[in-house]
Homo-oligomer: A and B are copies of this chain.
């Protein structure tokens, strides 16, 4: 039955193009590698934050698709001329905005391999290696984080394990839906309007969005206020009192999202204490460590997720701070049956004996979509290419650079550190105690302490716009009571000299805005962390 090994007949559709001609594949593949290597080589010469105007691109590109093919050379020419100026360069070493996206050689070639195989691993059968490698890599990572056995496939018999999704939004939506349905199975579907979801005012907007999508009434999203004195962590006492009020009003507590490393200030919620509260009301607790999760592979940071054995689910983004190109979110759950009973479908055309017998994992039932790429390859290649020790040291080096930046800020009396730096995010601002000596625009403040929160916010805003407009760095802001500047260190290419130069740049722009030429305010350290 060797019928398939015969050669193609000569008459075979010669006029049809060959979109996978191998010589052309190699030629264009090499060309793209060279193009990207050139891009990285010159990335420091580009404005980090793009300065194009809205609508710039439609003035430059045709309004309809070409009827005839165009060469890759002319396409790449257009990328250089029209696309690159419109990109904000997340891979730049001078990128400190939001949280940087993490890219690496290993992450990149892992994505190439996954894209090249182009398998759709919705269930085990559709590509067994895609599912099995994912369970293995999630166990590797789980062990690196010292997650309890209840989250590790190979050590637990009770339905724990991990899955790779695209983003934290998906991780939160999947777990929220699981929690919702678990609760509704007890109280009846008609009571969906009674379910309450808890978070703090520092929780990522992903929770709000997931709540909206899951059909939970937005008026039942409890946003617990945090305080600076508590470094913006969620207070278990506030959680209790909020829950008690809800229960008194006949509502049903359902889901709590705690965060390790919030977006604005890197606040860390006290997992154990919150779980103590949650367990009395059978609340599903999810821990979102989107950014800070990876650093917990270092023993000296592991304490931030102490208590993780008590939560229902835990996630972080490997594309944020773990050298894995977009998109890659790691989610672990203790009881995958809760997840799959909400998310599974089993249409006829996917039926097969291994799925029927439930001896295999079908990841389609752990996520929102049906289709999925071979997600595990890039994470597997990242971990193997660098090894656990190098990964730990690489992350530690970012924390070290953040400490250096924080130290530089503290040395300049015109600035405050808004909250002490825990990981690699530095939150700082021009201090209300700074002396302003403006050149006219705010002339009335000549030589005076600012001491006006509105004006301080304005000045910080102005400073941020000023440094970003320079094109030399990109930082973003936070506003928690007051406006402050966030310097998030985590871009793969960032080295110590970038960080010290970034601070020099901030100082130079501050000089210009405050009207000083490098002079320091006379001020003792005691008042340096100003209450916001």
Residues of B within 8 A of A40 (CB): 20, 22, 25
A103 interface residue (CB < 8 Å to B): yes
A496 interface residue (CB < 8 Å to B): yes
Contact residues on A (Cβ < 8 Å of other chain), bracket? 35 or more
Residues of B within 8 A of A229 (CB): none
Q: What would be 17 A-B contacts, judged by CB atoms less than 8 Å apart?
A: A1-B470, A15-B393, A29-B30, A52-B128, A54-B354, A58-B136, A63-B154, A65-B144, A65-B387, A75-B381, A83-B133, A88-B119, A88-B126, A189-B217, A205-B347, A212-B343, A326-B371
Interchain CB contact under 8 A, B57 and A94: no
Segment from A104-112, A448-456, A514-522 that makes contact with B: A104-112
Residues of B within 8 A of A21 (CB): 105
Interchain CB contact under 8 A, B119 and A87: yes
Interchain CB contact under 8 A, A215 and B214: yes
Interchain CB contact under 8 A, A108 and B1: no
Interchain CB contact under 8 A, B213 and A383: no
> Copy number in this complex?
2
User: In the docked arrangement, what's the CA distance between A140 and B213, Å?
Assistant: 30
Residues of B within 8 A of A61 (CB): 133, 136
Interchain CB contact under 8 A, B124 and A54: yes
Residues of B within 8 A of A264 (CB): 348-349
Other-chain residue from B32, B67, B386 in contact with A389 (beta carbon distance below 8 A): B67
- Chain B residue, CB-CB nearest to A347: B205
Closest 5 CB pairs of A and B: A215-B215, A86-B129, A29-B33, A19-B104, A57-B132
Interchain CB contact under 8 A, B128 and A57: yes
List residues 319-365 of chain A with CB under 8 A from any CB of chain B.
319, 323, 325-327, 342-343, 345-349, 354, 359-360
Interchain CB contact under 8 A, B205 and A370: yes
Residues of B within 8 A of A1 (CB): 470, 472, 505, 508-509
Residues of B within 8 A of A91 (CB): 20, 116-118
Interchain CB contact under 8 A, B208 and A66: no
User: In the docked arrangement, what's the CA distance between A343 and B58, Å?
Assistant: 26
Cβ of A145 to closest chain B Cβ, rounded Å: 11
User: In the docked arrangement, what's the CA distance between A72 and B113, Å?
Assistant: 12
Interface 1/0s, chain A 147-190, versus B by CB < 8 A?
Answer: 00000001000000000001111100100010011000000011
Residues of B within 8 A of A477 (CB): 348-349
